[in-house]
Structure 1
Amino acid sequence: MEALLEAVMRRAGVPGFVSGLQRLSGGANMESWLFACGTERFVLRRAPSPEWIAARPLNMAGEAEVIRRAHTAGVAAPEVIAELTAEDSLGIGFIMRCLPGTADPESALSSPPELANDLAQAMARIHTLDTATLSFLPRLDSAEGVEALACQFAETGGDRPLIALGLAWLRANLPPPAKPVVVHGDFRIGNLMVHEGRLSGVIDWELAHLGDGHEDLAYGCMTVWRFGRLDKQGFGLTNIKTLAKAYQAAGGEPFNPARFRFWLVYRTVWWALGCLSMGQSWRTGTDRSLERVVVARRCAEQELDLLLLLESEAPETERARPLPPGPPEPHAATGEPTATEILTAVSEWLAATVKGKLEGRERWELAVAQNALGIVRRELTARANPADRALANDLLTGRQTLTTPGLLAGLRARALSTLSADMPKYPALAAARTLWEHP
């Protein structure tokens, strides 16, 4: 692979030997490879497979072009220096100069308050890019987007009541059409490079499109992208009012709370369905990585967040209703080891014997494998079935709503059980337990 990269770099006018090639961990979709050439560092970004990229609204040539235009317009975006061709034998993708700093969430979330202003300014600058020169970008209309989500929901089984609740709310709360701007589409902690406490770059532009700028504002404020900072809804760095004020001061449009709430719910439903689609990618062989099946179980995180977002619209009597009784505690095991115990033994062996021998992405993949074993272990003992097609249909059609006696309490119990098995370390889970089990 190094020799192939050296040929591409020579074509880009950067001769030298390639060294230090390593695949970066993380990234739900694309592959990212860090390497050095001469005295500089670069990143190869490529699609996991031709089938995967063929299903995306924006191809990699389009992603490279929007990054170029953003970089030229003064957005803190990487510099694209080469696009791969079939003759390069490296797949589909492009090469960028490596930005200084790190995308590690902990680094961003421990930064000084100025970082929140940097993010607001970067968003505002992206939203003022010339849409005429980026007309090749896909366009997202709110009404069409909701119906596309409904179709995706049906394709994934149409049987998750909490997602159906979110879809019904979106249909009932469509905002007026907005003047389209360039939307990054994945603007959040984890896709923002931070160097010495300040923003050094915006990466991962694969979801860029034309749409409502409030979508970017809302997406980065989702609970999942605040990495445990539950008290700071503005990207885990500040509050919404301060973030919106900084965004407007930087040239962004006036903040509209109703529009913001719509997109917050929309992107929560979108990511719930996106998680489920990861499992389908694995089933079809489009991407057979272990990460896909594990990320699919993160749907439960978004279902909990949806309920926390929407339950305020239920009557007070329903919000005060106690949870229904849970399943009985399992008896202590005796005799031969249970399947749960065998899985525990395998996980402990991996940690004691294998972990110390791995580093980089392989060590990260081991953590994913141990997470997968934990999901199966907990499912065997205490996971309610999150699927209920009849209830989902009732919620979509309005036959049941948050005013239905007992519905909210049942949905709360379902969300707690599913998430406790699938992703028990999700920060919002403990907060929800406190709120719902001890009102």
Structure 2
Amino acid sequence: MSGRALLNDTWAVVTTPRPIVDAVVRSVCGRAVERLVPLAGGGLNETYRAEFAGDVAVVVRIARRPTPWFIDEAHLMAQAAAAGVPTAQVLGLEHLDHDGEPLSFSIQQFLPGRSLEELSGELPAFALERVVAEAGEILARVHSVVPDDQRGIQHELRLPDEHEVARVARIVATALGPAAAAVVERGANFLRQEVTTRTAPPISLVHGDFCPKNLLIHDGTVAGFIDWEFAGPASPAYDFAQWEVDAGEPLHDRVDLVRRGYARVADPGTADAGWTPAFAVDWSLEKLGWTNPAAPAQFRRCVDVIARYTVC
């Protein structure tokens, strides 16, 4: 679908020697690091909070890729920020070689708060609904950005490959039984129908990983959208679909709240142009085929989402 699968679960996170991290942060910030704290939820990268004297901190993200990384991400984050999206300022990018391995560093402003994923079980229902709707409103600002070039990850629907579908069906049959494997086949047929009979959807900037783990909540409001590594040009339906697949309990069935907030800025129906089901099925099929499988609850969720849109 997007080239994103190439990145998922294929890069082992290796710890970068502390002196290298200290040197890069000092070169960008001009200050010595007093404390380096690993952060959870860094995805495919090493992610730290680098603390200086006086309770000042920055976020350090380190990627191991064959080519310099984070450049497109920084550009797209700046575009989103200009549209009113709360996102961290990128303070500097550095690229270096360590023992023959290229390292890319993104030094970013530290945003206070906790992820909505962490808070979803603590917030009262009314507060949870309010921040999810607020996230939807901010998402509409993301989608208001028309990419000025083809930077970022390309999220495109593609015709399912028959051999890949058969492989995924076998995986699902082993894990969940033949009825679930039949759902996979229906999903592939549905996707083929959508891609071959409909006009391609309109394109905007999408976040590319829109789910509770990447929404920071501070003082009861959405303080930041984080982790723009998978941002790029696509149909806005991609972000709606990803929430439905990836948000987790109890929020994955509340995309209505996202759309309610979105409607404060733009019409979600016009934005997704009816393509959310296709993107949800496509993303679910992709996740079901990962070499390193998704967690059991996510695996089951993918099958359930496909079934929802392919009822016989």
Q: For residue 94 of structure 1, what is the aligned residue in structure 2? A: 106
2:119 matched to 1:107?
Answer: yes
Secondary structure of 2:208 counterpart:
coil
CA 1:18–1:304 in structure 2 vs 1: closer, same or farther (change >3 Å)? closer
Provide the rounded CA distance (Å) in 1 between the counterparts of 2:275 and 2:294. 29
Is 1:159 aligned to 2:170, yes or no?
yes
With over 3 angstroms needed to count, the CA separation of the structure-2 counterparts of 1:29 and 1:103, relative to structure 1, is same
Q: How far does residue 184 in structure 1 lie from its aligned partner after superposition? A: 0.9
Instruction: Look at both structures and tell me which one has the larger radius of gyration over its CA atoms.
Output: 1
Matched to 1:233, the amino acid is: D
Alignment of 1:26-425 (within 5 A): 26-39=41-54, 40-47=56-63, 49-50=64-65, 59-86=69-96, 91-103=103-115, 105-108=117-120, 110-111=122-123, 112=127, 113-132=129-148, 134-142=149-157, 144=158, 146-147=159-160, 150=161, 153=164, 159-160=170-171, 161=181, 162-174=183-195, 175-222=198-245, 224-226=246-248, 228-229=249-250, 233-235=253-255, 240=256, 242-255=257-270, 258-273=274-289, 276-277=290-291, 279=292, 296=293, 298=295, 301-303=298-300, 305-307=302-304, 309-310=306-307, 313-314=310-311
Distance 1:65 1:304, change over 3 A: closer
What CA distance in whole angstroms lies between the structure 2 residues aligned with 1:152 and 1:37? 53
Give, in angstroms, the shift of residue 211 of structure 1.
1.1
Q: Is the Cα–Cα contact under 8 Å of residues 268 and 305 in structure 1 kept in the other structure?
A: yes
1:436 matched residue in structure 2 = none
Q: Which amino acid letter does the alignment assign opposite residue 269 of structure 2?
A: P
Deviation digits for residues 196-227 of structure 1 (CA, Å, limit 9, x no counterpart): 221111111111121110211121122x422x
Number of residue pairs the alignment of both structures matches: 276
Instruction: Tell me the distance in 2 between the aligned counterparts of 1:208 and 1:312.
Output: 26
Q: What are the Cα deviations for residues 31-90 of structure 1, in whole angstroms up to 9, with x where unaligned?
A: 21122123311111122x335xx6xxx942211221233234321111111112216888
Distance apart, 1:191 and its partner CA:
1.0
Percent sequence identity over aligned pairs: 18
Q: What TM-score results when the alignment is normalised by the length of structure 1?
A: 0.55
> Does the 8 A contact of 1:15 with 1:38 survive in 2?
no
Structure-2 change in CA distance of 1:152 and 1:34 (3 Å): farther
TM-score (norm 2): 0.75
Shift of 1:304: 5.2
Residue pair 2:38, 2:49 contacting (<8 A) in 1 also: yes
CA distance in 1, matches of 2:162, 2:153: 18
Instruction: Report the CA distance shift for 1:156/1:123 in structure 2 as closer, same or farther (over 3 A).
Output: same
Long gaps (5+) in structure 2? 1-16, 172-180
Higher relative contact order, chain-length normalized (CA < 8 Å, sep 6+): 2
Does the Cα contact within 8 Å between 1:141 and 1:177 map onto a contact in 2? no
| Separation in 1, partners of 2:202, 2:297 | 33
Which structure carries more strand by proportion? 2
Q: Distance in 2 between matches of 1:32 and 1:155?
A: 37
Secondary structure, aligned partner of 1:86 = strand
Partner Cα separation in structure 2 for residue 266 and residue 72 of structure 1: 31
Q: CA deviation at 1:29?
A: 1.8
For residues 6 and 37 of structure 1, the distance between their equivalents in structure 2, rounded to whole angstroms, comes to 11
**Matches of 2:168 and 2:276 in 1, distance apart?**
29
- In structure 1, the gaps of 5 or more residues are 280-295, 316-439
